[in-house]
Amino acid sequence: MAEEEKSLSVLESIKLDDYRIGNAQAVVYDRRKADLFPTGFLSQLYFSFLGNRYNKREGTGILEVMLCGFSDLSHDSVVQLFLRTPLVILGVWEDDKFNAAGIAFPTIMIGAGEEERACYAGYGYQRKWWGSAEQEVLTLLGLSILFQEMGLQAVHGVRFAENDLTAKYMQRFGFKDVCTMPSQMTRKGKLVPGVVSTLDRATFESTVERMVLEAYQAKKSA
């Protein structure tokens, strides 16, 4: 009797769809893919994140929160960081054009082997995509690609203690705060506290299944 085929996990199913749902897709940056990432793409990405968090004046407020703890947020420093990091581009297709809306990226890898791995990671979106219908889908896809392609059992995050918006947003995907560490990172040359949060693979898979089911039910009843 032939062995029963193993059913695919929800993350394996998302991978089969190339981490794409509708017009939203998560893609690992590869400068050899010139059709997606033309010359100067990372510079354009950097400048798209400039600006204050709450208004359109020049500033590094968005970068400061996204790359919390980094002391040098200059163009060359950030682009070099992007180049040496497995950068996940979170984008939206408009006709045949892939438009970057945000990024997700690991900062510290933990563990060894194929089954005992975790990482610290960060994410960020351009202002125009904040609160958009695509943002939640893109975040789900970004986390999916990190968990699945890197074989992670957990993803951890660190944020500034006053960043309540990120805390509430990431709770939707199953992240839970673990602790607040004093003098955990620097901000404008000063040591400041950092809040550590974590999301394990099983919790995320359950969250994805729930969100997909809710989306299906909403579409069915529309």
Strands 20-21 and 24-28: antiparallel
57 pLDDT above the threshold of 70: no
Question: Which pTM does this prediction carry?
Answer: 0.90
Second-level CATH architecture of 10-221:
3-Layer(aba) Sandwich (3.40)
pLDDT of residue 188: 82
Q: What are phi and psi of 65, to 5 degrees?
A: -80, -40
pLDDT of residue 143: 98
pLDDT of residue 140: 97
pLDDT of residue 145: 97
Task: Write down the domain spans for the chain.
Answer: 10-221
Q: Is 215 exposed, middle or buried (0-12, 13-18, 19+ CB in 10 A)?
A: middle
**Mean confidence (pLDDT) of the chain:** 90
How many whole angstroms separate alpha carbon 85 and alpha carbon 117? 17
pLDDT of residue 4: 43
- The length of the chain is 222
State percent of the chain over pLDDT 70: 91
Q: How confident is the model at residue 8 (pLDDT cuts 50, 70, 90)?
A: confident
pLDDT of residue 134: 94
pLDDT of residue 104: 97
1 pLDDT above the threshold of 50: no
**How far apart are the two ends of the chain, measured CA to CA in Å?**
44
Question: Region 6-26: what's the mean pLDDT?
Answer: 92
